[in-house]
Amino acid sequence: MANDLLSVEHVRRTFPRGGGEELLVLDDVNLTLKEGEIVGLLGRSGSGKSTLLRLIAGLSRPQGGSLSYLGAPIEGPVQGVSMVFQGFALFPWLTVLENVQLGLEALNLPPRVMRERALAAIDLIGLDGYESAYPRELSGGMRQRVGFARAVVVHPNILLMDEPFSALDVLTAENLRTDLVELWGNGKLPIKGIILVTHNIEEAVLMCDRVLLFSSNPGRVASEIKIDLPQPRDRTTAQFEQYVDQIYVEMTARRVERLRQQQATSTTGTDMPLTHVSPSQISGLVEALSALADGKADLPDIAYDQELEVDELFPVAEAMQLLRLADVEGGDIKLTHMGKRFADGELNERKEIFSRALVNHVPLAAHIKKVLDERASHSAPKTRFLDELEDHMAEDTAEETLKTVVSWARFAELFSYDDDTAAFSLENPT
């Protein structure tokens, strides 16, 4: 619609891969940003969030669909859109003032106006007194403030933030979030709308008016949750927790359903990416759960107890679901009978349970084992499996998937992998 700051319709983005193939990163992405809104994009790493921000900023072009800014198609870098990055991207040889002024370069303002605008932004963002400091003299939090000031100084209509708090320590991040929400609420920021990319559920609930849940492979907006709480928000209220829970439930339900489907239909597992999770991370969570009544916990609670972020907890929970050591249902995770036996078992029994789980429930592990069993040499080069995986996924995802299955199989003593020879072999050929 014409009064939208931003509209993204049916956007599709692929990247070229080896062999003339394409990696589909974003497919049929739709979103709008209206004046006065903070919209959150919540999804795990690799789901295409940064790719989408680059498209919105006009720094890259989609292969399909369209993007428009104030009703006009986006066809190149957009003047009214600024970006704040996770890494601070400051120039070390420039002072704070010079770094901030850099944001204004493209506007061709008289030097005096540039200086005034930069000083105002520095003041606004809480950097007063640091004008002539160099980035190396600043803490991480202060550096990120420079990043904000540089983005805000151009008075953009839209501010894009790409995980802007994730490189900061907990307290610093929280201070910066609070300051930002306050400035926004007071109408002091010369900005009309914000898109915040994050993989932190609580951060999204704390700051956003709407949260778009982003799915992976390919990335698309899977659902939208409106956060109907007044600002400033209090993390400790029941309503706040309800939103966090609701998002947990939606994110896990979708992903676990997909995992189950893949597990049921995949024959060789070469079309099933695995996120790297070590056997000790799995054992850790199994043990934490077995200490609880019924071997069961609320996902947000156990994440909090274990000091894990969503990006860290989900892959472990998913691996446990995949191995049938736990059931993930709604917002809960519960040990299975096998999971409880694993928790109670000695190391050898744990290895046996793990080995059986790999053969029975992880198609890729079963596939590799079968190939090794069938070969007279009981060995096979890494490329044998990597090529198969790369038919279905990006190179780095294929590497990670293989690395994951190797670490699981090593623990289970199902088969082994030698880095020097880049070859798989049976641990105990029979």
Q: By the criterion CB under 5 A, which residues form the site for Mg ion?
A: 50
Binding to ligand ADP in span 301-330, by CB under 6 A = none
Alpha-carbon distance of 324 to 190, in angstroms, equals 52
DSSP one-letter code for 324: T
CB atoms within 10 A of CB 112: 8
How are the residues of the chain apportioned to helix, strand and coil, as percentages rounded to the nearest 5?
Answer: 45, 20, 35
217 counts as binding ligand ADP under rule CB under 6 A: no
Of 45 and 237, CB closest to ligand ADP: 45
Which of 6, 40, 51, 62 is close enough to bind ligand ADP by CB under 6 A?
Answer: 51
**Considering only CA atoms, which of 415, 381, 416, 387 is closest in space to residue 399?**
387
Which of 40, 46, 279, 295 is close enough to bind ligand ADP by CB under 6 A?
Answer: 46
Contact criterion met (CB below 8 Å) for 99 and 146:
yes
Q: Which stretch binds ligand ADP (CB under 6 A): 44-52, 87-95, 144-152, 368-376?
A: 44-52
Binds 15: which of ligand ADP, Mg ion, none (CB < 5-8 Å by kind): ligand ADP
Of 45 and 265, CB closest to ligand ADP: 45
Binds 124: which of Mg ion, ligand ADP, none (CB < 5-8 Å by kind): none
Binds 48: which of Mg ion, ligand ADP, none (CB < 5-8 Å by kind): ligand ADP
Of 15 and 304, CB closest to ligand ADP: 15
Binding to ligand ADP in span 84-123, by CB under 6 A = none
Binds 396: which of Mg ion, ligand ADP, none (CB < 5-8 Å by kind): ligand ADP
Shortest spacing between CB 197 and Mg ion, in angstroms = 7
Binding to ligand ADP in span 391-430, by CB under 6 A = 394, 396
Of 45 and 360, CB closest to ligand ADP: 45
Of 204 and 412, CB closest to ligand ADP: 204
Alpha-carbon distances, residue 322 vs 268, 273, 319, 327, 334 (angstroms) = 15, 12, 5, 9, 13
Which of 4, 27, 42, 47 is close enough to bind ligand ADP by CB under 6 A?
Answer: 47
Alpha-carbon distance of 397 to 429, in angstroms, equals 30
Phi, psi of 190, deg, nearest 5 = -80, 60
Shortest spacing between CB 43 and ligand ADP, in angstroms = 6
Signed CA dihedral, 225, 231, 237, 239: sign only = negative
The contacts of residue 111 (CB under 8 Å, 6+ apart) are: none
Shortest spacing between CB 16 and ligand ADP, in angstroms = 7
**Considering only CA atoms, which of 296, 80, 297, 277 is closest in space to residue 194?**
80
Shortest spacing between CB 310 and ligand ADP, in angstroms = 13
Binds 47: which of Mg ion, ligand ADP, none (CB < 5-8 Å by kind): ligand ADP
Shortest spacing between CB 132 and Mg ion, in angstroms = 33
- Token pair, residue 232, equals 């400033």
Q: Angle 363-374/382-390 helices, nearest 10 degrees?
A: 140
How many angstroms separate the first and last alpha carbons of the chain?
A: 68
Strands 220-226, 332-335: pairing is unpaired
Contact criterion met (CB below 8 Å) for 49 and 211:
no
- Token pair, residue 183, equals 């400035």
Alpha-carbon distances, residue 77 vs 57, 59, 67, 83 (angstroms) = 6, 5, 12, 11
Shortest spacing between CB 162 and ligand ADP, in angstroms = 7
Of 15 and 91, CB closest to ligand ADP: 15
Site string for ligand ADP, 4-43 (x = CB under 6 A): -----------x---------x-----------------x
Beta bridge partners of 418: 423
Shortest spacing between CB 86 and Mg ion, in angstroms = 7
Which of 21, 22, 45, 66 is close enough to bind ligand ADP by CB under 6 A?
Answer: 45
Of 199 and 369, CB closest to Mg ion: 199
Alpha helices in 306-394, H assignment, sequence order: 310-322, 337-344, 347-361, 363-374, 382-390
Site string for ligand ADP, 376-395 (x = CB under 6 A): ------------------x-
- Binding-site size, ligand ADP (CB under 6 A): 12
The site for ligand ADP (CB under 6 A) is made up of 15, 25, 43, 45-51, 394, 396
